[in-house]
Amino acid sequence: MDRFTGSDLLCIRGERMVFTGLDFEVSAGGALILVGPNGSGKSSLLRLMARLLKPVAGGMAWNSEDVSDDPDAHNARLHYVGHMDAVKPVLSVAENVRFWAGLRPNGQADPVAATARALETFGISHLADIPGRFLSAGQRRRVNLARIVASPAPLWLLDEPTTALDKQAIASLEGAIIEHQRGGGMVVLATHAAIEAQTPSVLDLGDFEMAEVA
């Protein structure tokens, strides 16, 4: 069974220590929910997990194999949803999703069908041929989420995925997350909204802040 672990992580942003001595563990089918006040390092931790940031100290391992040994293999097993939706204004919704699905080696043989299914999941099939520039913020977010459903990857790193989403879309997202977990996938989620996931464990980043030095 796959396990993704981090130990003794230290993150410094702009000479400020964000968190220190942080450990985490997610295993196949599990969910880790990051909570904590603004600025407590939820996004930084997700970016560390994606290796967009390098930890100042500590390390992360996938099945006890250091993730920095093979960065491309780590990239192949993760999907990251950040603050920006990466929807190209001049490409249609389907073209946007299909491009990202096609870049992944473990994608389905047929990216067109996978894209259609992913758009269906988030209720945006009717927008398939609409260029990205005509989408609302919520619709753009749905396209971004459809991107991660269109090609399978075991690890989802979601940073405030519910931003701009309506109730119905949040329900679709919860459905997608539970489906993903049933298939043995793992989710790490930073959120202020209540999102349903199976057997979630909660990591409060407020616990890892350095005590203020007077």
Partner 1 sequence: MDRFIRLVGRDLRLAQRHGFDSLLVVVFFVIAVVLFPFGVGPEPNILARIAAGIIWVAALLASMLSLERLLQADYEDGSLELLVLSPVTLEVIVLAKILAHWLTTGLPLIIAAPLLAVLLNMNVEGFAILILALLLGTPTLSLMGAVGAGLILGSRRGGVLLSLLVLPLYIPVLIFGVGAVDAAIAGFAFKAQILILAGLFLGTLALCPWATAAAIRQALE
Task: Determine the interface stretch with partner 1 among 24-32, 98-106, 171-179, 187-195 (rule: CB under 8 A).
Answer: 98-106
Task: Determine the interface stretch with partner 1 among 21-29, 103-111, 176-184, 199-207 (rule: CB under 8 A).
Answer: 103-111
Alpha carbon 2 to its chain's center: 17
Which residue of 19, 24, 62, 80 would you call a contact of partner 1, by CB under 8 A? 80
Q: How many CB atoms lie within 10 A of CB 171?
A: 13
Q: Return the biggest CA–CA distance within the chain.
A: 60
Q: Is 170 in the site for partner 1 (CB under 8 A)?
A: no
Which residue's CB is nearer to partner 1, number 129 or number 212?
129
Q: Is 104 in the site for partner 1 (CB under 8 A)?
A: yes
Nearest alpha carbon to residue 25 among 179, 182, 161, 186: 186
Nearest alpha carbon to residue 24 among 2, 47, 5, 50: 5
> How far, in Å, CA of 210 to CA of 204, rounded?
14
Q: Tell the smallest beta-carbon distance from residue 67 to partner 1 (Å).
A: 13
Q: What is the contact surface with partner 1 in residues (CB under 8 A)?
A: 50, 52-54, 72-73, 75-76, 78, 80, 82-88, 90-91, 95, 99-100, 102-105
